[in-house]
Amino acid sequence: MSTAWRIGVDTSRCIGTSICAGTAPEHFRLVGGLSAPLADVVAPADVILDAADSCPVEAITVHDASDDRLIAPQE
């Protein structure tokens, strides 16, 4: 049971659609046209997976902060 997730945004992939910031505004915003997480390590929440799974270029990754297991994006 993971208690914390680590959010990463690969800004070399991000194309600035703002889908993530619209889906999970409490976790993502656009800075200079590209996505940036508001906090890197956060409490698990489904809406973060929604954002990661909705990104068209799979720029958002979510890992378990304790064991580094990849949680999203899912295949």
Partner 1 sequence: MTESAQTTESRSVPPARPYPFSVPDRLVVDPTYGELRENEPMTRVKLPYGEEAWLATRYEDVRTVLGDVRFGRAPAVQRDEPRLTPRQQYSGMLTMDPPDHTRLRRLVAKAFTARRVEALRPRTQEIADGLVDNMVRLGPPADLVEHVATPLPIQVICELLGVPYADRDRFHIWSEAIVSTTSLPMETIQEYLNNLWGYIGALVAERRREPGIDDLLGALVRARDENQDRLSETELVELAGGLLAAGHETTVTQIPNFVYVLLHNPDQLARLRTDPSLVPAAVEELLRYVPLGVGSSFARYAKEDVEVGGVLVRAGEPVLGSLSSANRDGTVFADPDRLDLEREQNPHMGFGHGVHHCVGAQLARMELQVAVATLVTRLPGLRLAVPEAELQWKRGMLVRGLLGMPVAW
Residues that bind ligand SF4 (CB under 6 A): 9, 14-20, 35, 55-57, 59-60
**Tokens, residue 31:** 């800075």
- The SS3 assignment for 8 reads strand
Tell me which residue of 66, 1, 54 sits closest to 27, measured CA to CA: 54
Shortest Å distance, C-beta 66 to partner 1: 26
Q: Are 61 and 49 in contact (CB under 8 A)?
A: no
Per CB under 8 A, contacts with partner 1 among 21-60 are 21-23, 25, 30, 33, 47, 50, 53-58
Site residues (vs partner 1, CB under 8 A): 16-19, 21-23, 25, 30, 33, 47, 50, 53-58, 74
